[in-house]
Chains A and B, each alone.
Chain A
Amino acid sequence: MSEMIAQEALPGLVDKWLAQGKRVAGPSVVKPGYCLYVELESSAQLALEGFVRPRNSIKEFVFPRHETVCRYHFSGHTVETEDCDPPQSEQVIVGARPCDAAALPILDHLFTWDYEDKFYTERRKATTVVTLACQTHDDECFCTSLDLGPAAEQGSDVLLLAMPGGYEVRCLTDKGKALFAGETRTAEQAAVVPPGPPVTVTPETVMTYLQASYDDPMWIDLALRCLGCGACAYTCPTCHCFDIVDEGTAAGGCRVKNWDCCQFAMFTQHASGHNPRPGQSQRQRQRIQHKFRIYPEKFGVMLCTGCGNCARNCPVGLGVLSTLKEAAGHGPVEVGS
């Protein structure tokens, strides 16, 4: 026995949420080969199958790539500031992948740690995540290595699982129940959870390596091909670094919070000119250290959900998984030594 919603009823429900004034986001094919999570104007834009996962992540709906946090005006010798409030309108993310949803409880630690970032927490409170369990995976997927999987429930308010004629609906939170109240019917069968990717790395081995091998020359070899762009970090569900910048004129302007990336040389460049991470090898090491040692040591969770977006989006095919395999000694060092 299970609760289910018919295949043809789901778009109607999405349109109903839109009609209620909710902001709704979900995967959409914006052009051939490019499936992205976008804000939907209608259910017709929603794509639920035919791809492994969108090329971006749902983080931008709780942590936008650009956000104004306050405004300032100069008048004479004084500065007036005007706080901006984070939007509190309800939003639904539908068709999220489990590896995206699982990133949210991971990010909660950072954004509520020594300072509560209300721009994140207010959005997070106003968000309901309707996740669709994965039917397929590719060679870059490694969620199962990180104790997640194709039907992982972490971070989801509702989990949908494809079954003949529609989707099994598992409401996991009160927010999820409210969203689907009266929209489901009881079905005789339950959905079958498809298998996930094989387990390829063990986080404990990676942690041991990272604690012991800070100066391994492997990083120099590995980072030779890294071009230093932000495609990995910006499409990662868990990367959360940002920069605070003032943008404006002599009369005033905005203080904005923009995504930033540890692979940029500018990321750690001091005003003096000194850069504590002058080379790409230090920057690559930092990215992996942060995800698999620093963050778990601080918050008890890894800063990765095994979605594989880093590798899929890297112009030179350098992802977390291939790096972890080398770090954990599971694979040969590919670059010349």
Chain B
Amino acid sequence: MVALALRALERLEHRGAAGADADTGDGAGILVQMPDAFLRAQVRDLPLPGCYGVAVCFLPTDRRRRKALERILVDAVVAEGQRVVGWRDVPVDADRAGATARAFAPRIRQLFVESTLEDAAAFERKLYVIRRVAEQAAGPELVIPSFSSRTLVYKGMLTAPQLRGYFRDLRDPLLASALALVHSRFSTNTFPSWELAHPYRMLAHNGEINTVRGNANWMGARESQLASELFGDDLQKVIPVVQHGGSDSSTFDNVLELLVLGGRSLPHALTMMVPEAHRPGDLSHELEGYYDYHGCLVEPWDGPASLSFTDGRVIGAMLDRNGLRPGRWLETTDGWVVLASEAGVFDVAPEQVKRKGRLQPGKLFLVDLDQGRIVDDAEAKATLASRKPYGEWFQRESVRLADLPPAAPRPLAQPLRRLQLAFGYTHEDMKVMLSPLAANAEEAVGSMGNDTPLAVLSNRRPLLYSYFKQLFAQVTNPPIDSIREAVVMSVRTLVGAERNLLDETPEHARQLVIDDPILSDEDLERLRCVDTGVFRAETIDITWPAADGWEGLEPALDRIFAEADAALARNANVLVLSDRDVGPERAPIPSLLATGAIHHHLVRAGTRLQAGLVVESGEPRSVQSVGVLIGYGAAAVNPYLMLATLDALDLDMTRDEARVRARKAISKGLLKTISKMGISTIPSYCGAQIFEAVGLARDVVDRYFTGTPSRIGGIGLREIAEGALTRHARAFADDADDLLPVVGLYAWRADGEHHQWNPDTIAKLQHAVRDGSVESYEEYSDAVNSDAARRSTIRGLLRFRYPSQGIPLDEVEQASEIVKRFSTGAMSLGSLSREAHENLAIAMNRIGGRSNTGEGGEDPERFADERRSKIKQVASGRFGVNIDYLTNADELQIKMAQGAKPGEGGQLPGHKVDSYIASVRLTTPGVGLISPPPHHDIYSIEDLKQLIYDLRCANPRARISVKLVAEVGVGTVAAGVAKANADHVLISGHDGGTGASPVSSIFHAGIPWEIGLAETQQTLVLNGLRSRIWVQTDGQLKTGRDVVVAALLGADEFGFATAPLIASGCVMMRACHLNTCPVGIATQDPELRRRFKGKPEHVVNFLFFVAEETRRIMAELGIARFDDLVGRVDLLEPDRAIGVWRERGVDLANVLRAPDVPSGTALRRTEAQASPLPGALDHRLIEAWDRGAPLSFAVTNVDRTIGGLLSHEVTKRHGRAGLPPGSIRVRLSGSAGQSFGAWLAPGIELDLAGEANDYVGKGLSGGVLSIRPPDGSAFPAETSVIAGNTVLYGATAGRAFFRGLAGERFAVRNSGADAVVEGVGDHGCEYMTGGRVVVIGSTGRNFAAGMSGGIAYVLDEDGRFAARCNTQLVGLDPVDADDETAVRALLEEHRERTGSPVAERLLAEWTPERFVKVFPHDFKRALEEWSAGGVGFLGRETEGAVAGH
């Protein structure tokens, strides 16, 4: 068993990672049942099985420190009344580990402890108590990977194959176990660590817990209420439950362990921590009640998580609600059950397979060893749900806000305008922010980047919200599509006192249920007046006497704390923090400060869970403001002044309507904000603090926003107070003028906020590039460097440390060399006009730089001429990505995020998709295009590694780049990217351009590249990874000075997007999202496109000017070669002459820190990544093809991306059209690795007898795939899983046939392939824009979400398909005669290729009425317009495009 498990793990080696030292793994491990026979042979005097426990300890190698720690543990054992049997050294072969791992290897010893207790469960609890006592006494140096009488863990900083070699025990045949949990890790963690390897004590986890910070905080708050009969007084000893500084997995494990030892079963504990998503009616009544009830006890721990667990008696796995991790299982006729991330890790003869399945979102997979069987999800949950009348309890005890007696809302206590002024309302807030909220029920959309100062540098005292930057998911976890995948989202929140987590009583359900966290005035008043005996609200005033000045703020906070404490003592369980008392005498405390401060005060006081916080404030009025309030602990927010302000706007609707729509818009924006982080529910976002503070003083953060990352210091309480007082004074001065201030944040205004792109800089730049005049350029660069940048950016606060003498200019590397380091930003054809896009490409080709296609594909006509973009982007929409596109790139850039909208997708409405754009994107004219927020083949770093591998196959010569956006932790992600074999990483600043993004994202997500780049450089250098990867940065780069600063901070290369557009004529109208660009740049309107006057020379001139300026600075710095500039952070220092250092407490030490490494450590890219391609099956394929030999191979799951390299060869030799159908026929058998048949070129056919993993047919480009069960298999194919998740992602042409089930997201973003499959999981045909899919079996939920084109034919056997289909964009029609022909043809081919009995039966008993035609509205309309004679925008070219499929 153990050997088999370890072998399986080795087969997953490609999913793990190694660091700079290729031999050192990120971690691998195994958990087994207590191997009594083995241990008995090793240890004398071992008590009876079950009567002893083993503590596996990682100890320091230093003898004295080790002894001390051992003493502590032994003392704890004794103190807790158990008996020490003795220590055993775990024998290891140290040389089997990698060099880095060896250097950090602990001494591993096992301590044997004999039970003095009767009850095994009590003993297990006791061991836990001992462990916690010892851990707390010893501190972080003592690591105890397991301490149980049931299970034992072996793990370390090893690769999967090293595990067995390292631990001699694992090679001992006596070491037996009926179960094994194995894991190998791809970490983005940077510091070598043995203990972070999995499994933990009960758990192995694949994924991330996005909400962990909030969960850990709430857990801390819960501790004071914990009580347990089982633990008795011992419980106090285990607190704090969560070990400080642990990873998300260990934190989860800590809580899980407590719940299980506290008396709940493992499945019970897991389903309460990670509940499945459901809508009313989805689940049984009991189960719904079960989840409702447990929602009152604990907020969801949101994944993406695949959790494997065991307590030694049951073993199983589950996926979180989103199900974004693969898991495939297999049961054999001789009693084996195997579950792994991939199919094919376990060799078994086809006839021995009994069943095959996969993990499903929110579902449990459980094996009960006592009963010796698989317990399916429904049964396991039914058992749980019927333990207690949970639903009844919830119904009886919980109260819905809407059911409380109505109360009249309060009128404003001061005139509207005074209040608006006091809360800093601006003219633009009304126009840009509020009007669209009501008018469109949507947050406002803008274009181009944020070129205004960071909040801390602004002279206009921005509201506190603007100092908080939203975090977002990139690479390590996927963002969610809150619109198309609304099924997993929830805004429902609960308020009320929470009770002892270790108990379950009806009273636990005493919670007030709020359906929407944005409260109307009526709702707030209802809440304020509540006094039901159970619920009682108290209002706490969060204003302070203006006369007290800034010094009064801190005492005011103290007053609030005292009032909150007193209210809680009076049993209040709803605290309304209100600034309704603002008036001439009283100024509002910034509501975010008040909320964070109270939240953390109560957490510290251990009373946080006695009440929910509700904020009633005049200040919040945007998605960002409400988001931060909830993120720092508010359960609900009543933005009363925003609502009142709507009344005064000139809108075409009633007041009530406006209020409802605005609240809805904010709720929607809020969901989008949390989904960017991959979080799906408000309760788990609440208090999760998913922000980075930029520009706040350390002590403010520590006290009021505890735990928030903050790296550049900034303003303190005084400046925060002064901001509020200034606004207050302005509002209530006797001579106050009544107009709201003009601030010019979204558009430049003469006396408003500074913009780096302003009339002066724009005009100067344009004049310079058109005249080619250096003097004009210098005027421009001077305006930027000594004014714009200084006022707005971190780099503006720095200056160069010039040596006493520079070098002559002519010794410095030539500008023509330097410009090769420049590229233009990814901007799609679609966001830019053809003219502007080609202009940039020509310019970049002329200077030897690189232009970027952006995410909209490229016209193949351009591949061979001057208009070719060297960089071809691969984004989540995969528009225009086929083997031809990939083959023709010099660089392939995987876009993970974009500074102006990290974590978000995009949308190109159908009317903008004209025939040209559609042909370039390989989609259908007139059909809208949605880019999903995540890449559906990148939910984790190991997935990214796989995509990089896929791209390498598609084009072995291209360098692979990954585009990231700066945020805290981007350095670690970049390290992961380097380990995942990328050649290039782009760190984009938060302030980069965009064709269209929500305003809150443009302004509030991400951080400046200076911080992100510095972090990246430091992390890569420290981990020895910098040498293998190029680093590029972009975001508001404008001058040579910018280039030099970026180089010194660690960039080899530089991206410019907005500046070259300005050189081409852009005047920052910021109408890019409106298609009305007046200079023909960001528009598809033919009339406007004619206005484009940009010339390649303009862009060339600009970049040469920048390069020349760079050279001048290099000369002064005494540096001749650009290479020698990179990473020389020592040449930068703070420019103390600039006031903000003193006035606003900015501190850039973190940014300017030089990594402490031996001299000679590479600071720039010096060597190539090792190619992962040698050994790929495709080499054999190509060789056999060349020889004309038969193409027949056996494969296993380590054979990934089969057909990728072959397709590249075919395309290289035969061009876009590939080969005639059936030219290359390949027969394969076995379990194929991931990305089977990716990018398959026309003329290639792969036939697989066996099964495949995730990403089958990714980017299918014209080839044909078929997968069928192996000959001789006995299991029923039509109910067994044959392919993994995300099949045919981004397929553009070709056909695929699956005799069996596929997983989640079948044919996601398919734009041209035809497929037949015998059943699919959730989200089938998501975002599909073309092609045809025939499903002749079961379908999961949310079918056709975001599907704008193509057609799906679904066999609706149970007649309930409609309920599982998302009909936002599609209609369900009967099939007509044409459809019948098409479906029959596909089914015939399916039968032919796979021998499917289902197809056989359907064709034999042809009943077309059982099929439902899923027909997207957009597509229908486009087809109608087309058949009406190509009228309208589609034009004549359409014909070819539509006829194309």
Q: Do A and B bind each other?
A: no
